[in-house]
Chains A and B, each alone.
Chain A
Amino acid sequence: MTLTISVNGLHKSYGDVHAVDGATFDVDHGEFFGILGPNGAGKTTTLEILEGLREADSGDVTVLGRPPWPRNQALLPRIGVQLQATSFFERLTAREQINTFASLYGVGARRSDEMLELVGLSDKADTRTEKLSGGQAQRLSIACALVHGPDLVFLDEPTSGLDPQARRNLWDLLRDINGQGHTVVLTTHYLDEAEILCDRVAIMDHGRILQQGPPATLVRGLDAPTRISVESGQITVAEAQSIVDDAEVEDDGVSLTIATRTPAQVLSTLADRNAMRGLAVRGATLEDVFLNLTGREFR
């Protein structure tokens, strides 16, 4: 595996604000990498430095083996960027839009049509971009970022502001893109999105990378209790408490929830007592990882 991105000791301040405070991470070729954190964590600044829009105060950054700053004409055709704001030329149709971008990279119009097809906008090709819905505009913007077949794609909060259905459609699209061999770097403040899409994530807060790794590994490393809940009234709190030693039980009158690190025994006991109506088992999520790392709720 070759490194697509290598970042070492990255610092960037705006006045007194340390937007990025010593970030270090790598992205492998073909990886789906997520940078996540709440708003203002420094994700966008990090991305902008990787894209070559901003100069780092200190630290080493290489993208595809080259420094992205100053603006590197040799690097630009190999990266694709989808910006947080959907930046389209005014009053152009979807097809004119993507054709304009394609020609900037010396790519023909046939490829544009293929991209529109890929993101499912063929029937909107002659619609002005101002008339596209949020999800359609977002997909067009991703198509524009991919039209020249870049090795590396940067996506800055691609699903923010979309309805759940549009988000799911976009996730499918992003997985396909990554499956075709594009390395994808994505920032998001949706932890579920990162958990579903990313091979590896870096959790950022206050300009620092708190932890990085595959989402499942981070969650497992937390050693958080599993939460098992069933409909209330099938088993008393005291009975539940007595199943295992570490059980923490709550009953809010609707559900009875048992938090434990030995879920197997709890589940089999519940099964024995035929008390599994409304069963739900929930492990820890990235949200718990964030809570554990920062001591506060994610949002």
Chain B
Amino acid sequence: MIRGLSSLSRAMMLGFVRDRAALFFTILFPLMFLVLFGGLFKDTGTSKPEVVEIGAVALFDQMPPEGRAQLDQVLKVVQNPDRNAALDQVRKGDYSAAIEQQGSTVVLHYSAQDAVKSGIVQGVLDSVVNNANLVSAGVTTPRFSLAAERVEDKSLKTIQFVTPGLLGWAIAVGATFGAAMTLVTWRQKKILRRLRLAPVRTTTIVGARVAVSIGIALVQMVIFIGIASLPYFGLKLSDYWWMAVPLIIAATLAFMSIGLLAGSFAKTPEAASAIANLIVLPMAFLSGSFFPLDGAPAWLRTVSQIFPLKHLNEAMLDVMVRGDGPGSALPAIGLLLGFALVVGSIASLLFRWDDV
């Protein structure tokens, strides 16, 4: 029963590893997206506005040290005694605003280019001026105070969001294409027929392909998590990230069943690849692999529920980065296995050993 399993797996694995195109599309290509998304949108939060101080602004310079420290947390202040040069820098967008003091009036020069930053600068300056006014009026303990706290760090950083999604997509590509291409090329090249004439069980042949696909998926997982965890990208896994392993195994089976179905209809590898693409690409978009679907219309989100990738992505997000417990992945695992069973059964009904 085990005879042939390891040698067939080995033959398939060697065939995969030596196929540069397959290696590229299942590992390197999704990884490029990870590097791209993870790198591009690394700092999605608004950075500190930079402000030019023209000459001396007594209001800033005479602030008590603790006040000045608070100010430096929200604004970056740069000195430039040349008024024209400073205003020019603001016009070009190098700085968000320029500040000068004329007597008791603090003048703020800003451009409307970045409304968010100039808004912040106005607000900050307003409060600085108000504070100064209060102090000069003798109010040292204001009745009301505002305590502002940032919550951004507790929400998902880009890398946290894109790693599970892109990993899911990579696994979908690998398992779907792997199953479809093996089926079609082995049928076309009569390898299936040759195997049928050898004392091997059909389950052994299928088992070998499943073992190879799961192996590839787990390697993809290791590579993705490894790269995303580099300090540059800064992926932080939550406690139960390892629940992604059974999830990925179940999802691999589901994607393979899609591939087998595509392979049952296709006669040539080209057709198989086209059909698989036609399924995998829309599925990846609708499953939130590339961008969140929160803004999508409700009907689209309902449609996306039929895709196994959607459930894999959601469940991986939950256990890998959102810190949900291991039990949270179980419904998704059940769904994925059910999908694999149903679609796999249909594919096995359509299975043909031969072209004719």
Contacts and interface: CB of A to CB of B under 8 A. Distances in A.
Interface of A: 51-53, 71, 73, 76-77, 79, 81, 83-85, 87-92, 96, 99-101, 103-106
Contacts of B196: 53, 71
Interface string B177-211: 00000000100011101111111100000000000
B4 interface: yes
Contacts, number: 67
Given A76-B197, A92-B15, A100 B185 contact: no
Nearest to A82: B194
A53 B191 contact: no
Interface residues of B, number: 26
A87 B193 contact: yes
Contact of B19 (A85, A91, A106): A91
Given A85-B190, A87-B191, A92 B197 contact: no
12 contacts: A77-B199, A81-B194, A81-B197, A85-B190, A87-B194, A96-B11, A100-B8, A101-B198, A103-B6, A104-B195, A104-B198, A104-B199
A90 B199 contact: no
Nearest to A128: B18
B198 A76 contact: yes
Given A87-B190, A90-B19, A103-B4, 4 more contacts: A53-B193, A89-B12, A104-B4, A106-B3
B148 interface: no
Nearest to B199: A76
A53 B37 CA distance: 52
Contacts of A106: 3
B14 interface: yes
Contacts of A81: 194, 197
Contacts of B14: 91-92, 96
Nearest to B19: A91
Interface string B1-23: 00110111011101100110000
B7 A103 contact: yes
A72 to B, nearest CB: 9
Contact of B197 (A53, A88, A96, A103): A53
A105 B199 contact: yes
